[in-house]
Every structure is written in C-alpha cells, then in structure tokens.
Structure 1
C-alpha cells in the first residue's frame, strides 16, 4: 500500500485515461505480484536475489522502464497534455491492454519486489500452505487495493480533466517515476 512505482502508474493511468484503464493497470500489477509469489515459492526469486548478475540485469531494465514512464509523463506535462475529453476511452489512443502491460512491467521489472517476496513467502511455505493459495492471496490483496485507488481517482476524473490539474498530475507522477527509477538504478543488493 505504500506509494511506489505501482501506485504512481495506477494514479496516472486512472487520472489521464479513466477508471477502466486504471483498473487494467491494477490488474497488470496484481498479475506481476502473482508471478513474484510463484517465483519466490519455487525458488526462482531466490536465485535472482542470490545472483549479482541477475539482480543487476533486472535492476537496470526496471530502472530504464521507470525512467521511460517518468520522462513520458514529464513530456506530457511540459506539452500541456492538450484538452482531455472525457467522452473518449483513452486520451492517449492506447487501450486497456497497454495499461495492463504498463502495470505488469512496472511490477515485474522491480527487483525489490523479488527481494520482498523472497523474505516473505518462505515463512508461509512451512505451514503447509500451497503455492497457489499464497499467490491467490497476494493477487486478491493487490487487486483490491489498486482497484480502490483506480476507482477513487477515476471518480475524480473531471477534476483531473482541468489542464492545470492534469499537468500537475503528469509532472508529479513523472518526477516520482524518474526519482524511483534513479533510486532503483543506484540501489545495491541488500
């Protein structure tokens, strides 16, 4: 629930493109969480955490993707984003599938998520909980939280349609994503 790249993506997607796109991004994030839980439970995430080279590759790719999203958002703020018409499905001309992939990639390219699940999941494996149940619980929790975020921001979309507010959202999420990308790029393995 803490603000991070996933949160920034859902807020921006919901504010700029509407509730459906925000929910699609939230669903992509949830699938990414599901994948990390499965990877942690099967030991794949532990290999990533243990391998300096694998960690570095995921870190660099993840940081580059966050920087790409942040710069794209900052450019939208700089250009003013144009007039946001609320009667079209997506002001950017991209569908919910693109929002889903944006959410999925933001989560799955974050090596910190792997480290989080490597630390968390093994505690529950000894209790006899099946991997599917653990993954489903993580999926449900993630999707519930981000669907709330997407719906609240989507409900306020008329406010976000104002050019000044939209520029501010684009600028703030752009700065946040660039900062998170830079932080990820300069992070070291714990």
Structure 2
C-alpha cells in the first residue's frame, strides 16, 4: 500500500467514526453523567468493536454476515434490542433519578455501574451493528488485494482502531470537561431523556436497515 492509499483509508475511517450514531450517543452519555474515565472506557469498547469488524472483514467473516440474510437479521435484531435496552434504562434514569446523582448500581440506573459496563456498552453497540460489517466489507477490498498478507491487514486494523479510539477519547474528554454543567439534576435528566430517546430511535431504525 502507498502512503496515498493509507491517507485515503484513514480519511474514510475518520468520516465514519465522526458520523452521529449509537457509539457517539453512548460515549457522550457516559462521559456526561459518569465522568471522563467511564467515557474513555466506553470509547475503548467502541474501538474494540471496530477491531473485531475490521478483522472480520479482512478474513471474509463480515462479508458472509453482510450477504447472509439470516445472520445479518439476527445481528441486526440483537443490536437493535440492545440499543432499545440502553435507551429504556436512560429514560428510567431520567424519570426516577433526575433529582439525584445515582451511585448504587442496583438502584435502576446504569450510569455508575463500573468501568466494565462502560466498556461493554461501547463494545456491544459497535459489534452488534451490522452496518459496521457492510461499511468495512465495502471499504477494505479497495485497499487490500486478494493476496494481501498479514502485515497489510494488521496495518489497516491498527489505523482503524487508532482513529476510532482517538476520536471517541477526544469526545469523552471534551464532554467530561463540561461535566460541572451536567451536575444539575435538571440537566442530568435532560441528558438521560435525550440520549434515551435517541438510542431507542436508533434501535428502531436499525430494525429496518438492509444490507444493501
């Protein structure tokens, strides 16, 4: 691969990472309501999901998912269900805990439920999104020839992961820097309500997504 191809690939991945979607919504909510570290853990989870899809695309697994209606539909429905689950929990938090900062993981809120939960949310939001499979299946063949070796695959994987984690770590830190504004109960309730509605809407939209 030439440096021009690497730059082009990087540019496309940057645009994909910056596109508004469930990954962005989850990172922003975690960063705003749980803090910088939780937001960064979610960002790393998203990057791990991207790594999984890049490797799957390079090895042909993602292509099989994209062209197999049953596999695509199963991943799509599971992913949509998970987004709706996150959205409903956010709305419950807005309704029940808008006047206080949740600290007990058993009190019905998922905001302060630990770094593993933050990482898991980012990972599953990306890994259960078949649109990511379609994206990388369409993208990688333009940069990886049929006889591409392990080094080329690892190089593109590393670039995709580095760009993704860099972007979402930036988002997490920027949102967390303004966290003082989110300490107000009304603002926290607004963030929960808006992010919950957005996640549910994205989940419903995912249900009607096709591989083409």
**How far apart are residue 187 of structure 1 and its match?**
2.0
Q: RMSD over aligned Cα, in angstroms?
A: 1.8
What does residue 98 of structure 1 align with?
117
Question: Is 1:139 matched with 2:156?
Answer: no
Question: Is 1:81 matched with 2:98?
Answer: yes
1: distance between equivalents of 2:73 and 2:19?
A: 24
Normalising by structure 2, we get a TM-score of 0.84
Q: How does 1:19-168 map to 2 (within 5 A)?
A: 19-84=36-101, 92-126=111-145, 128=148, 130-168=152-190
Q: Contact 1:85 / 1:161 at 8 angstroms: preserved in 2? A: no
Normalising by structure 1, we get a TM-score of 0.93
What does residue 180 of structure 1 align with?
202
1:12-65 superposed Cα distances (whole Å, 9 cap, x missing partner): 000110000000000000010011000000000000001000000000000000
**How far apart are residue 79 of structure 1 and its match?**
1.6
When residues 48 and 168 of structure 1 are mapped into structure 2, their CA distance, relative to the original with a 3 A threshold, is same
Q: Count how many residue pairs are aligned between Structure 1 and Structure 2.
A: 187
2: distance between equivalents of 1:133 and 1:189?
A: 27
1:140-178 superposed Cα distances (whole Å, 9 cap, x missing partner): 000000000000111111111111111111111111100
Paired residue for 1:4, among 14, 21, 38? 21
Q: Contact 2:78 / 2:128 at 8 angstroms: preserved in 1? A: yes
Where do 5+ consecutive residues of structure 2 fail to align? 1-17, 104-108
Q: Contact 2:144 / 2:153 at 8 angstroms: preserved in 1? A: yes
**How far apart are residue 93 of structure 1 and its match?**
4.0
Where do 5+ consecutive residues of structure 1 fail to align? none
Q: Contact 2:98 / 2:186 at 8 angstroms: preserved in 1? A: no
Give the secondary structure class of the aligned counterpart of 2:143: helix
1: distance between equivalents of 2:119 and 2:135?
A: 22
